Amino acid sequence: MHIIKKENCQKSFITDHTLINHEIDRSIKLYKWDFILSSLPSGSFLVGGYIRDLILRRLKEKNNIDIDIVVPKNAIRIGKKIADEFKGKFIILDENREVVRIIFKHITIDIASQISHSIDSDLFSRDFSINAIAFSFEKKLLIDPLNGITDIQRFLLRTNSKQNLINDPLRVLRCFRFVSELNFNIDEKLIDLIKIFSNQLRLVSNERINYEIQRIIRGENAAISIFLINKFKIFGYIQAERDCISNDLGKINFENFNQFEKEKFLPLFYLFQILDEFSLKKLTFSKSEISQIRLLKKWKLVLDKKNIDEFNEKERFDLHNELETILPSFILFLPETFHMNWLARWRNKDDKLFHPSNLIKGDILKKYFEIKEGPTLGKLMNYLSRELAFNRLNNFDEAIYKGKQWIQQNAPKCD
């Protein structure tokens, strides 16, 4: 059974083994990485996501192609030789396990040494059945011991054993990445394992977790994935109690947002749903991302205490002044009836409330009113910007006149 009941609107995909073999051969030439084949030893296999995405017809959607190859042994030596011969960037990802990466302009190739006595045993140790499919370069033959192709047809995420999650607990999080990116369902047995082993994420490097989260919040089905992450308290190990309440994602209509706005602002909104400021710092998110989440939290708390219609003029101005660059992320906290109007005004760069500005630059104000850089200048500029935002200023002369009045009433004798 599937843990989530949802419709998958994926285009038709390839299921016949002979056709898959043919398409793999064709794609190698199409995406121009056939040049490395002569450098691979006998017994090398293409594995993992490349085959999965080819079956799903997703390869053409990628700007860069990711390729995973298993060789019998000596992956480091083989990878170094390929990188040197074809001028690629060479990186050792795991020296003990012999895993390397070669980066070319249009493709990234990971090469690993086989860890078991057979390719079948290697595939049994991979994260999910949909990634446990191999293609023999030598025999032009598909190897699918876990029926991964069938699971792709069923849009089902399934693992071979709990040991696969124990070996690398990050696979718990990768599960939600595939929900987000591929719109797959999760096998109930896998859900049981996730509940048991999610706290083992504490053993995974923060940088690896950060990478998976970044992928999750940018997937086409991120809302479903975020819902499940919260439902199963995946980040409970790092934040015992959330100090902000997440939204009911099932009730949010995203259709008023254009594609650019969805790609740019929904990830920040989703990030807010799953991590607090402490967790963001712990998981090595950038200062900019942390600052943006901090602002969203601040205004979400204000919104929790009073209706947006009850905001006074100063609150409305301060909101737009602080959230101008990320306002579509905040709009999702408002009732849907506000979405179209707020988005239309935010899209209008001439709207002085949604894009606060000043008629007069700070240097001119300093010179004209003989004030120095400091709090007084900042408050004066904020006041004039607010007057402009609410259509109480029309030109330079009015700004100077109002500025003079404000100075007389508010400025100290010495700045």
DSSP 27-95: HHHHTT-GGGGGGSPTT-EEETHHHHHHHTT-GGG-SSEEEEEEESS-HHHHHHHHHHHHT-EEEEEET
Closest CA relative to residue 110, chosen from 81, 155, 79: 79
Q: What pLDDT is recorded for position 242?
A: 57
Share of the chain above pLDDT 90, in %: 80
Residue 205 lies in a domain: no
Q: What pLDDT is recorded for position 239?
A: 80
Q: CATH number of the domain at 145, please.
A: 3.30.460.10
Are 324 and 369 members of one domain?
no
Q: What pLDDT is recorded for position 60?
A: 73
Provide the domain count of the chain. 3
Are 134 and 37 members of one domain?
yes
Are 3 and 123 members of one domain?
yes
With a cut of 50, say whether residue 256 has pLDDT above it. yes
Are 275 and 370 members of one domain?
no
Instruction: Give 289's DSSP letter.
Output: H
Mean of per-residue pLDDT scores for the chain: 91
**Coil vs helix vs strand at 101:** strand
Task: Give per-residue pLDDT as tens, 281-309.
Answer: 999 999 999 999 999 999 999 999 999 99
Identify the domain boundary among 318, 347, 376: 347
145-164 average pLDDT score: 94
Domain that holds residue 400: 362-410
Are 4 and 143 members of one domain?
yes
Identify the domain boundary among 130, 160, 190: 160
Are 366 and 339 members of one domain?
no
Residue 275 lies in a domain: yes
- How confident is residue 251, by pLDDT bands cut at 50, 70 and 90? confident
Residue 198 lies in a domain: no
Residues 363 and 367: their CA atoms lie apart, in Å, by 6
- How confident is residue 1, by pLDDT bands cut at 50, 70 and 90? very low
Closest CA relative to residue 105, chosen from 69, 76, 75, 63: 63
Residue 100 lies in a domain: yes
| 393-397 LR contacts (CB < 8 Å, sep 24+) | 393/359, 395/359, 396/359, 396/360
Residue 248 lies in a domain: yes
Q: Which residues contact 227 (CB under 8 A, 6 or more apart)?
A: 249, 250
- Token pair in block for residue 140: 């032009």
Residue 384 lies in a domain: yes
Are 271 and 303 members of one domain?
yes
Q: What pLDDT is recorded for position 13?
A: 67
Are 250 and 287 members of one domain?
yes
Residues 240 and 114: their CA atoms lie apart, in Å, by 40
Residue 377 lies in a domain: yes
Q: What pLDDT is recorded for position 243?
A: 52
Whole-Å CA distances, 15 to 51, 113, 262, 273, 301: 11, 28, 32, 37, 50
With a cut of 70, say whether residue 210 has pLDDT above it. yes
Task: Give per-residue pLDDT as tens, 366-384.
Answer: 888 888 888 889 999 999 9
Are 113 and 6 members of one domain?
yes
Are 117 and 242 members of one domain?
no
Q: What pLDDT is recorded for position 232?
A: 93
Are 341 and 366 members of one domain?
no
Residue 387 lies in a domain: yes
Are 286 and 320 members of one domain?
yes
75-86 average pLDDT score: 97
Identify the domain boundary among 347, 382, 399: 347
Residues 245 and 272: their CA atoms lie apart, in Å, by 10
Residues 149 and 160: their CA atoms lie apart, in Å, by 14
Q: What pLDDT is recorded for position 63?
A: 66
